[in-house]
Structure 1
Amino acid sequence: MNASSRLTLGALALLPALACAQSAAPATTPPADDPPPAPRQARPDPKPAPAPASKPSSAAKDGANERTERLDRVELQGSASDDTLRRASTAAKIVIGREEIERFGDSSIGEVLKRLPGVTTGGRPGRGGEIRMRGMGGGYTQILVNGERMPPGFSLDQLPPEQIERIEIMRAPTAEYGARAVAGTINVVLREALQRRLNELRAGFQLERGRLSPGFSWTRNDKLDDQGGAYNLTVNAMQGKRYDDVHNETLTRALDRGTERLLVNRGQSEDDRRSLNLTARLQWRLGQGSTLALQPFVVVNRGNTDGAFNQTQTPRALPGDPDYYNFDQVQTEGHNRFTMMRLNGQWSQRLDEASRLELRAGVGRARSNGDTDRLESLAGTVKREQLDHTESRNRSWSLNGKYSHQFENEHSLVMGLEGEGMSSDQTRTCLQNGLSCAYLLDFGDDLDAATQRVAVYAQDEWSMGPQWSFYAGLRWEQIRTESKAKNYAVSNSAGVTTPLLHAVYKLDEKRRDQIRMSLTRSYKSPNLQDLIARPSINSQYPCLPSQPCGPNEINYPDRMGNPLLKPELATGVDIAYEKYLAKGGILSANFFVRRIQDLIRNQPELEDVSWAPVQRWVSRPRNIGNARTMGVELEAKFRLDEYVDEAWPVNIRSNLSLFRSRVDGIQGPNNKLDQQPDYTLNLGADYKLRSLPLSVGASLNYTPANTIQQTVLSEASSTHKRVLDAFVAWQVNRDTLLRLSASNLAPLDYNTGSITYAPTLLNPTREIISQNLGRSFTVWQLRLEMKI
């Protein structure tokens, strides 16, 4: 039995054992000798203090017991609030509130999400990266901010956790949030305006590999008026510095001739980024059941990158040999800027006691520009210098209307209409050794593109008795994409109808045990860059001005879009068991399966191209066939004293997710979906000390090594990833907290690689083995949090 099978059996055995323990444990409040620290939480008694006596009166005892019980209830409600929202939702949903977001003092959303069931992040350990649900990258996970998509160039890592109110994770699509969610949806909700006054400052710094990165945030929350108006303002400024080693190797073997050539790149790169983020929310009660809210959102990023590396070939390239571009030193310098401004408005009107109308509108602009300078030298002599300047401008709008009606028999109907548009224009200036990059003049350096989306949906939720709840939804959505450049225009239109069914069955009257079932249709639409046919020439095999453009290698292909792409359609089934615990927490097991049609994958092929007199390898996204994926997600989140008598109230968080997938038309055994591992594992615990004002915690995130057969001719691999995090938080006083946290405490190298077979006329059995070796480092963070 292999390691994966043993983990599977062990995890499946976890839930019955905990369920039995739960049935044996009495569903009571915490023991009286384990109350929360009374001096900080107890409110003063408004009644006059009783006269001193040798013994406390029975009334005083009763009052103390009453206050203790009240404090226990407050503590339980606070820890279970996220689970309460999760349990009440008919469609499967995980809610992560402020308490959970702040627990480890993470500096990015990716670090928060990586501890959740089935969520993984790409890139090196401790660095965040692309967020994936169920191990599925490349657009299978729908990412929303306040229910809306963000423009190109925006990443969730640009959004600091201090600006987030909660994170909603939906494992199956819903009509309201959209069906472009084959793996699921992550909706980030920004800070909300409350009438409760809050004035909070956070300041600190990160330390990675000897480089300090300071950060500061301020949150202000207060009333606007006495009629229910309120506002929230959150400002965050930060600087991030990273210093990395560059080490990649490519070994090319001509198996028919028995010869080898090794290409090695070694060097360093340094990245310095500064960002300013601002979110605000202003809301008013206008009277007669009407409310209005405005929410501006501003992101400003500036970054500088510098790199230098040496390239060596063994043996050296021969004159006229159509192999790697011949240079031995490279210096790169880059500057980039990104600015995004968005304003959302929401108006809600209660039509009567049971009906409500809601309108949402948003407008936004984003602008990014970048400059790169690449200098290639051979034996100290500059051979090529390429200067690139790109500038992109994005404009977006959205208009949504929603009508909801609540019937008397616990029956809720929602209907909506959505419209969204996004346009982008890009200009580029490219110079090689002072001359224009003439090989792309047929396509031009300017590009305009636009996307329009229209959707209509209806969803109905109802209950049948105290145990059954149902959800039925239907959504129709059409997306049209257009792009044009100098001598060509591309258009693509796709419409998808998605029926959605969800059901919940509560096994007991207390509604602590329930079963969820979902039957859904979802899809993944091609992104704009995949559709645009404008080529990008590989920098390792460039086309020099005034010279014929030569051949390239299969592992260094040019890239080009495909305007004929069709969307991927997926039919999915989800079945889950959930057990909610008396002291807060949950035991759950979730099974899912997705059948995907018209799978999109990038594949290189030899093509006749207009920018070269010979065929070149060109990688395009293509619909290659069907695929299927399935998995089991196990979760156990509980307090240790719920199962072990007289144990400390340690919060335990653990989950194990197992995945399997298969792509038709590609030979196994590793014909899996891109980037999907066999499993992911999370173990974590935190505890608030009784004797000292300290909270401590640690978590372990593990993803095994992975090999994926991407095409018939190529496979990709990555080493295992292990991330150990820990924190210590000292409550200096009621309003001041000092937090020390560490991410990636036991750093491991994270290496990726590929093996490609290149069938050519000259070398029909060429094997190309590439490796990218990446070191990782511990990231320390010290932060002071103050409430003023």
Structure 2
Amino acid sequence: MLPAHPRLLRLAILPAALCAALYAHAQQTPQVEVQGSTANYNARRDDTAMRIVVGHDEIVRYGDTNLLDVLKRIPGVIVNGAAGRGGEIRMQGLGSGYTQVLVNGERPPGGMQADTLAPDTVERIEVLRAPSAEFSNEGIAGTINIVLKKAASKPQRELKLGYGVGRDTHSPSASLHLANRRDAFTWDVAGSLVHDRFRGEVPGREEEADAAGRRTMLRTTAGHEDGRMTTLNLAPKLGWKLDGDMLELESYLNLNRFRVDVNAPTATLLGPLPAYPDKRIAMDNDNDTVRSMLHWMHALESGARLDAKLGVSAGRTDNISTRTAGGNPQVAPLTRTIASRGRDRGLRTSGKLTVPLIEAHALAVGWEGAYDRRSDARRETDYLDPAATIPGGDEHYSGHVARLAAYAQDEWQLTPQLAAYLGARWEGVRIHADGSSFGSARSQSGVFSPVLQLLYKLPGTKEDQLRLALSRTYKAPGMDSLLPHRYISVNNSPAEPDTEGNPKLKPELALGLDAAWEHHWAEGAMLSLSASTRRIDDYARSLVLFDGRRWISLPSNVGKARTHSLQLETGFPLPALIDGAPPLELRANVARNWSSVDGVPGPDNRLDEQVPLSANAGVDYQGERMTAGANFGFRSGGRVAVAANQAVWLHARRELELYAAWRLDQTSQLRISAANLLGMDMVNERSYLDTASGALLRSRVVNVGHPSLKLTLESRF
């Protein structure tokens, strides 16, 4: 059950009491009939709140097998890494928790990897640059809400079979969608299975120079990885339409199997040998998540609407890592097997009551509550001598995270030109954990977040409008960032430190301002210029320290920070610009980001490895029997100062993608898509300056990239 904390309980009761009072009022409110058409509705143009909505047709256009590849084409969104392998989603160039990712408006349950969701199971993606009170405000850079498909309103049967291939990759995939209805009952099931087989080169380089600039150490690593990943997504849904009510049961199952074997022999060309010149790591990781949500919708005759949800979730993570290392006669060989097991259980509830109290108003109050419990056990053994005792080899911890939130929001039309959205949300988080190696760790925080958004349509024109948003957002530390539990590296150094949580870590708070000018000059044609700024208190980042024995990376609050962003975006059908032009849709966007951290001396003291410049340009063709398109993405690089003696280098990346689909008959089509046609690598480069000796250590790791091609047969039957 939830912790019995008086303030939290009062705030939990408050929205329920408001819902009850408004519910009683709504029963007595005269019925209001609203007439209008949604045929020409455009969320980007018509909603008071700032948001971008990407529909299902656009999501599946390139035949992607995971959402990470879809998100990188959305304006203002940047993606680093690969799905299931540490991929990171960024807005305003910021990641590591600054961009909030939700599934159906809620945090994914423990262990669920949102980036491995199948695009075929997604109805739409909502990108919120400024927050709303209805969703958690734990997204300083912005929020991405992934809305899964609802039960279909008409029978559907669709099968997709695909095969992707690259120089060192093979990726067969299949997806199936079945739906039907009978009277008041509907059912829908969507599933996908993807198997990725990959191998590749991961070369590395590490060098050190003394205070005079003389090179004192040089090492090169001929890294090689060989692995596979299998992902199963299953999303069954049931719906019942009752008298005045709608009841839905939605479930989601995500199974992920990841295997990788990394061989990383290191050659020392200058200087001393590392502790383990020859290193090999074999890892098996199983991650399973299941979530079920019961959704009740009740419509009143007055026009009021009550939505209530109750859900449960469970997750399982099993990881076995075998480390074999040696090659230095001064150090005994390393023969370790590390087995860890994590279990997640969750219970959550939410509700919202929307009441038309007066004309042109849409008042809503709601609540959210969640209780997630996690247990984690880790055992380290010597596989050559299983009976040997390893200090600190057995560790375990268990903990829980309790969240309560209450919110109210109102959206109304002040004048024919001016619409306003006003909301307020209080959200409290309590974290408690007990572990065999650290005793007990606790954290408690509460944030009140007011939100104001305005939409002003310029007089005398139907094309131009202005937007303004004021908000308060935050970033709470997760359990892993708080627990003083240490994860040990093999070759411990400033370039490869251990990692450890910090129980003294405080949440980061931000005040934000967003503004935009939009010009909608034809159906489907838009030009937008937007700007945003955030001031962040208690900014946190990971610092590399030496504790007297080993190097560790420790998250720490380093002071205040500021970030600013400017974005230009356009999209339009070519016939809207040129009469008689072919049916082409053109789109382009460019974003420039700046930031500074007060606790880190400049220059280049940017937030969270922030990407300074990103851009996309694309074109789509819609013919009678064929559709085709291309997208080119770019993001710049540069140096980022993490601390006075730490830096990270971001490397520029250019990515070109193509797709084409041919209609074979009324029910089938063939789709071909190509990714990373320029063969760009992913590069990780860091430096550490020893302030005592003046020695500078630099490391560089490269994941070599190659183009890939995928063929998919899509059939409705």
TM-score by structure 2 length? 0.91
Is the contact made by 2:514 and 2:532 (CA closer than 8 Å) also made in structure 1?
yes
Show CA shifts across 1:676-707 (max 9, x none): 111111000011236xx221211100001221
Is the contact made by 2:401 and 2:432 (CA closer than 8 Å) also made in structure 1?
yes
Alignment equivalent of 1:91, drawn from 49, 65, 74: 49
Answering whether residue 479 of structure 2 is matched by residue 523 of structure 1, we say no
SS of the residue corresponding to residue 359 of structure 2 reads coil
Corresponding residue of 2:349: 399
Alignment equivalent of 1:222, drawn from 180, 185, 192: 180
Q: Whole-Å Cα distance in 2 between the matches of residues 482 and 620 of structure 1?
A: 19
Query: Structure 2 vs 1, CA of residues 499 and 436 (structure 1 numbering), >3 Å: closer, same or farther?
Result: farther
Q: How far did residue 379 of structure 1 move?
A: 7.8
Answering whether residue 561 of structure 2 is matched by residue 599 of structure 1, we say no
Q: Whole-Å Cα distance in 2 between the matches of residues 755 and 284 of structure 1?
A: 59
Corresponding residue of 2:377: 427
Query: Structure 2 vs 1, CA of residues 661 and 786 (structure 1 numbering), >3 Å: closer, same or farther?
Result: same
SS of the residue corresponding to residue 333 of structure 2 reads strand
SS of the residue corresponding to residue 407 of structure 1 reads coil
Show CA shifts across 1:449-502 (max 9, x none): 210001111111111121111111111111000111125100000011111101
Show CA shifts across 1:511-533 (max 9, x none): 44221110100001111110011
Residue identity matched to 1:671: N
Residue identity matched to 1:267: G
Q: Whole-Å Cα distance in 1 between the matches of residues 546 and 582 of structure 2?
A: 64
Residue identity matched to 1:315: L
Q: How far did residue 506 of structure 1 move?
A: 1.5
Residue identity matched to 1:361: L
Q: Whole-Å Cα distance in 2 between the matches of residues 124 and 239 of structure 1?
A: 14
Alignment equivalent of 2:117, drawn from 141, 144, 159: 159
Query: Structure 2 vs 1, CA of residues 351 and 174 (structure 1 numbering), >3 Å: closer, same or farther?
Result: same
Count of residues paired in the alignment: 677
Answering whether residue 254 of structure 2 is matched by residue 296 of structure 1, we say no
| 1:189-204 aligned within 5 A | 189-204=147-162
Corresponding residue of 1:438: 390
Q: Whole-Å Cα distance in 1 between the matches of residues 213 and 105 of structure 2?
A: 58
Q: Whole-Å Cα distance in 2 between the matches of residues 605 and 304 of structure 1?
A: 32
- Greater Cα shift, 254-263 or 200-209: 254-263
Q: How far did residue 331 of structure 1 move?
A: 2.2
Corresponding residue of 1:585: 525
Corresponding residue of 1:493: 444
Q: Whole-Å Cα distance in 1 between the matches of residues 109 and 220 of structure 2?
A: 37
Corresponding residue of 2:648: 716
Corresponding residue of 1:370: 319
Q: How far did residue 407 of structure 1 move?
A: 3.2
Show CA shifts across 1:559-601 (max 9, x none): 2111111111110011111222423132111111111110011
SS of the residue corresponding to residue 356 of structure 2 reads strand
Q: How far did residue 365 of structure 1 move?
A: 0.3
Query: Structure 2 vs 1, CA of residues 436 and 515 (structure 1 numbering), >3 Å: closer, same or farther?
Result: farther
Q: Whole-Å Cα distance in 2 between the matches of residues 404 and 686 of structure 1?
A: 39
Query: Structure 2 vs 1, CA of residues 556 and 132 (structure 1 numbering), >3 Å: closer, same or farther?
Result: same
Q: Whole-Å Cα distance in 2 between the matches of residues 562 and 250 of structure 1?
A: 28
Query: Structure 2 vs 1, CA of residues 688 and 437 (structure 1 numbering), >3 Å: closer, same or farther?
Result: farther
Is the contact made by 1:354 and 1:407 (CA closer than 8 Å) also made in structure 2?
no
Alignment equivalent of 2:304, drawn from 341, 350, 355: 355
Alignment equivalent of 2:424, drawn from 449, 462, 474: 474
Q: Whole-Å Cα distance in 2 between the matches of residues 554 and 450 of structure 1?
A: 32
Answering whether residue 616 of structure 2 is matched by residue 682 of structure 1, we say yes
Corresponding residue of 1:774: 703
SS of the residue corresponding to residue 261 of structure 1 reads strand
Corresponding residue of 2:208: 252
SS of the residue corresponding to residue 481 of structure 2 reads helix
Is the contact made by 1:171 and 1:185 (CA closer than 8 Å) also made in structure 2?
yes
Corresponding residue of 1:330: 279
Show CA shifts across 1:636-660 (max 9, x none): 0101121123221210011011111
Is the contact made by 1:86 and 1:92 (CA closer than 8 Å) also made in structure 2?
yes
Q: Whole-Å Cα distance in 2 between the matches of residues 647 and 663 of structure 1?
A: 49
Alignment equivalent of 1:617, drawn from 548, 551, 556: 551
Corresponding residue of 1:563: 503
Q: How far did residue 110 of structure 1 move?
A: 1.7
Corresponding residue of 1:749: 681
Q: How far did residue 664 of structure 1 move?
A: 0.7
Of all paired residues, the percent bearing the same amino acid is 31
Q: How far did residue 156 of structure 1 move?
A: 2.3
Q: How far did residue 108 of structure 1 move?
A: 2.0
- Greater Cα shift, 395-404 or 209-218: 209-218
Q: Whole-Å Cα distance in 2 between the matches of residues 642 and 128 of structure 1?
A: 42
Query: Structure 2 vs 1, CA of residues 220 and 125 (structure 1 numbering), >3 Å: closer, same or farther?
Result: closer
Q: Whole-Å Cα distance in 2 between the matches of residues 615 and 402 of structure 1?
A: 53
Residue identity matched to 2:217: R
Is the contact made by 2:527 and 2:571 (CA closer than 8 Å) also made in structure 1?
yes
Is the contact made by 2:168 and 2:199 (CA closer than 8 Å) also made in structure 1?
no
Whichever of the two has the greater Rg, that structure is 1
Answering whether residue 222 of structure 2 is matched by residue 266 of structure 1, we say yes
Q: How far did residue 373 of structure 1 move?
A: 0.9
Query: Structure 2 vs 1, CA of residues 328 and 126 (structure 1 numbering), >3 Å: closer, same or farther?
Result: closer
Corresponding residue of 2:398: 448
Corresponding residue of 1:234: 190
Answering whether residue 138 of structure 2 is matched by residue 177 of structure 1, we say no
SS of the residue corresponding to residue 669 of structure 1 reads coil
Corresponding residue of 2:586: 652
Q: How far did residue 194 of structure 1 move?
A: 2.3
Answering whether residue 453 of structure 2 is matched by residue 502 of structure 1, we say yes
Answering whether residue 582 of structure 2 is matched by residue 642 of structure 1, we say no
Is the contact made by 1:290 and 1:349 (CA closer than 8 Å) also made in structure 2?
yes
Q: Whole-Å Cα distance in 1 between the matches of residues 583 and 282 of structure 2?
A: 53
SS of the residue corresponding to residue 782 of structure 1 reads strand
Q: Whole-Å Cα distance in 2 between the matches of residues 771 and 238 of structure 1?
A: 31
Corresponding residue of 2:602: 668
Corresponding residue of 2:694: 765
SS of the residue corresponding to residue 505 of structure 2 reads coil
Q: Whole-Å Cα distance in 2 between the matches of residues 348 and 303 of structure 1?
A: 39
Corresponding residue of 1:29: none
Structure 2 residue runs of 5 or longer lacking an equivalent are 1-36
Is the contact made by 2:84 and 2:113 (CA closer than 8 Å) also made in structure 1?
no
Query: Structure 2 vs 1, CA of residues 750 and 536 (structure 1 numbering), >3 Å: closer, same or farther?
Result: closer
Q: Whole-Å Cα distance in 2 between the matches of residues 490 and 705 of structure 1?
A: 38
Answering whether residue 659 of structure 2 is matched by residue 727 of structure 1, we say yes
Is the contact made by 2:419 and 2:455 (CA closer than 8 Å) also made in structure 1?
yes
SS of the residue corresponding to residue 65 of structure 2 reads coil
- Greater Cα shift, 158-167 or 769-778: 769-778
Residue identity matched to 1:783: T
Is the contact made by 2:108 and 2:114 (CA closer than 8 Å) also made in structure 1?
no
Corresponding residue of 2:365: 415
Corresponding residue of 1:384: 334
Query: Structure 2 vs 1, CA of residues 555 and 234 (structure 1 numbering), >3 Å: closer, same or farther?
Result: same
Alignment equivalent of 1:133, drawn from 74, 78, 91: 91
